[in-house]
């Protein structure tokens, strides 16, 4: 495949918008401004077509069938695995496990590697800015095993206190599980440093890439993480599809998660032997259509060029930050030096929910609330924020609309 990112200079955002049919719709009689991309991104037409094409032309169960449809479906399904492997620079395709999403990936690791390796008194380190999905599975595990959950603190800018992190590491640390980037604040964490320190302490590292994978270059080998998880739907792909990357040696040694079809080699009533990687962790008929369409989403990102996308989004972040800071009473929560294109903010005396409803009334979709990060909101002493998160198809004009919308909200509510 030609790496178009090196050829193409910049992006034509208006041409890109043409590929996303939902952007043509109106909400409350106003053109949709979609700024909830950190929750899920919209889908380009080719991704939608790939789903329709699968069901229209070659719907079949994969791997077992010997008929043409099954062969075509299997080839398309497995092609996604190859594309994902290249996308995150994994050493082999066997290290790419298909899941339902980030949450399932984390739960899979907690239930297999975790149950096998965590014992009473062992320590698991997470951070203050984790999504509930990267807190609760570890809490459940710690409760079951009488292990201890430790939390890396952050500063007022929303950055991890790395010195404190290193103090938490010790001979009992078995696992460090942290977000590559925060969904609520946008902070990009120094994962290389985190992983290196954890490895020196003899701990295994899981990186939650739910937010980062669509924005940053991911090289799991260079990063040297042991597990990396993310979801397709935040990468312009379908919902219900996600990836667990794990180092082969770990995946081979781990016990199985779900039992059933596909994950077996041989079954007798006395004993079952399990299939090889990656199928060992893919019991039952998988999400074939969405897995297939995910490749199309990754192709879209590759063709647009990750660097081009990032430059565009960085410009949107810079512009939005600058414009929003001028609004009276508005305070941005999360001002890390390294940030994704996410702006979380509070406005004096106005509840985020009121902001969300009144912006929706103007056709602007943002997210309000605690963003599934209640401990983080507690750290900032706020019930929640309003969050605008940007994608490749967003424009400065839309940010102007957000700012105008917020001015109106402030006028009505204060």
Active-site residue list: 372
Residue 276 to residue 142: CA distance in whole angstroms: 29
**CB neighbourhood size of 313 (10 A):** 21
Residue from 22, 79, 267, 413 in contact with other proteins (CB under 8 A): 413
Least separation, in Å, of the C-beta of 369 and other proteins? Answer: 5
Q: How far apart are CA 358 and CA 412, in angstroms?
A: 9
Select 75 or 404, whichever has its Cβ closest to other proteins.
404
Binding track, positions 312-351, relative to other proteins; x by CB under 8 A: ---------------------------------------x
- Selected from 258, 383, 400, 403, the binder of other proteins by CB under 8 A is 383
Looking only at the bridges linking them, the beta strands covering 204-208 and 227-231 are parallel
- For other proteins, the closer of residues 237 and 352 by Cβ is 352
Binding region for other proteins (CB under 8 A) out of 55-63, 68-76, 90-98, 361-369: 361-369
State which of residues 105, 114, 158, 384 lies at the interface with other proteins (CB under 8 A): 384
By CB under 8 A, residue 404 contacts other proteins: no
Q: Are 1 and 295 in contact (CB under 8 A)?
A: no
Please, what is the minimum distance in Å from the beta carbon of residue 351 to other proteins?
Answer: 4
Among 91, 146, 253, 412, binds other proteins (CB under 8 A): 412
Q: Give the tokens for residue 66.
A: 């010997």
Binding status of residue 209 toward other proteins by CB under 8 A: no
CA separation for the pair 99, 101 (Å, rounded): 5
> Residue count at the site for other proteins (CB under 8 A)?
17
CA angle 149, 151, 155 (to 5 degrees): 175
Min dist CB 411 to other proteins, Å, is: 10
Residue 356: count other Cβ atoms within 10 Å of its Cβ. 21
Q: Which is nearer to other proteins, 16 or 184 (CB)?
A: 184
Which string of x and - marks every residue 6-45 that binds other proteins (by CB under 8 A)?
A: ----------------------xx----------------
Q: Does 173 bind other proteins (CB under 8 A)?
A: no
> Helix, strand or coil for residue 317?
helix
CB nearer to other proteins: pick between 71 and 360? 360
Q: Which of 354, 375, 379, 395 binds other proteins (CB under 8 A)?
A: 354
Q: What minimum distance in Å lies between the beta carbon of 353 and other proteins? A: 4
Q: Identify the residue among 201, 369, 375, 395 touching other proteins (CB under 8 A).
A: 369
| Near other proteins by CB under 8 A: residue from 259, 353, 378, 397 | 353
Given CA atoms 110, 380, 341, 21 in this order, what sign does their dihedral have? positive
**Minimum CB separation from other proteins for residue 28, in Å?**
5
Strands 30-31 and 26-27: antiparallel
Distance set, CA 334 to CA 56, 100, 149, 342, 359 (Å) = 46, 29, 24, 9, 21
Which of 16, 358, 359, 392 touches other proteins by CB under 8 A? 358
C-alpha pair distances (Å), 176 with each of 168, 252, 376 = 10, 20, 18
Residue pointed to by tokens 């967003």? 394
In whole angstroms, give the CA distance from residue 105 to residue 242.
8
Q: Alpha-carbon torsion 295, 298, 299, 300, what sign?
A: positive
CA atoms within 13 A on the CB side of 402: 31
Dihedral through CA 182, CA 185, CA 191, CA 197, nearest 10? -100
Q: Which is nearer to other proteins, 27 or 60 (CB)?
A: 27
Using CB under 8 A as the criterion, which residues of the chain lie in contact with other proteins when the complex forms?
28-29, 351-354, 356-358, 361, 368-370, 383-384, 412-413
């Amino acid at each position: 495949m030609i790496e178009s990112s090196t050829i193409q200079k910049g992006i034509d955002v208006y041409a890109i918008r043409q590929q996303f049919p939902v952007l043509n719709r109106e909400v409350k009689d106003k053109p949709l401004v979609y700024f909830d991309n950190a929750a899920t991104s919209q889908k380009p037409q080719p991704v939608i077509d790939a789903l329709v094409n699968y069901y229209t032309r070659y719907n079949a169960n994969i791997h077992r069938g010997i008929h043409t449809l099954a062969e075509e479906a299997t080839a398309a399904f497995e092609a996604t695995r190859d594309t994902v492997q290249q996308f995150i620079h994994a050493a082999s395709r066997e290290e790419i496990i298909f899941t339902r999403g980030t949450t399932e990936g984390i739960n899979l690791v907690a239930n297999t590697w975790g149950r096998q390796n965590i014992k009473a008194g062992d320590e698991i380190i997470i951070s203050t800015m984790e999504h509930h999905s990267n807190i609760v599975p570890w809490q459940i595990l710690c409760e079951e095993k009488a292990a201890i959950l430790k939390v890396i603190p952050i500063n007022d800018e929303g950055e991890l206190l790395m010195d404190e992190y290193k103090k938490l590491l010790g001979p009992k640390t078995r696992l460090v599980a942290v977000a590559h980037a925060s969904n609520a604040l946008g902070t990009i964490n120094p994962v290389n440093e985190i992983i290196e320190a954890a490895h020196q302490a003899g701990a295994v590292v899981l990186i939650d890439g739910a937010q980062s994978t669509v924005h940053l270059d991911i090289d799991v080998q260079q990063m040297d993480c042991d597990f990396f998880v993310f979801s397709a739907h935040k990468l312009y792909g379908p919902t219900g599809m996600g990836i667990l990357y794990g180092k082969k040696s770990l995946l081979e040694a781990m016990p199985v998660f779900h039992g059933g079809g596909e994950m077996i080699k041989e079954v007798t009533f006395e004993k079952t032997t399990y299939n090889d990687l990656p199928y060992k962790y893919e019991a039952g008929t998988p999400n074939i259509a969405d897995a297939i369409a995910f490749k199309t989403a990754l192709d879209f990102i590759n063709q647009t060029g990750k660097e081009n996308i990032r430059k565009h989004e960085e410009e949107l972040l810079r512009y939005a930050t600058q414009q929003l800071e001028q609004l009276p009473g508005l305070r941005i929560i999360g001002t890390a030096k390294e940030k994704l294109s996410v702006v979380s903010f509070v406005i004096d005396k106005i509840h985020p929910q009121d902001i969300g409803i009144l912006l929706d009334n103007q056709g602007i979709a943002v997210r309000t609330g605690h963003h599934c990060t209640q401990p983080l909101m507690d750290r900032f002493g706020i019930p929640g924020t309003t969050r605008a998160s940007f994608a490749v198809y967003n424009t400065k004009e839309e940010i102007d609309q957000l700012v105008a919308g917020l001015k109106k909200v402030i006028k009505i509510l204060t």
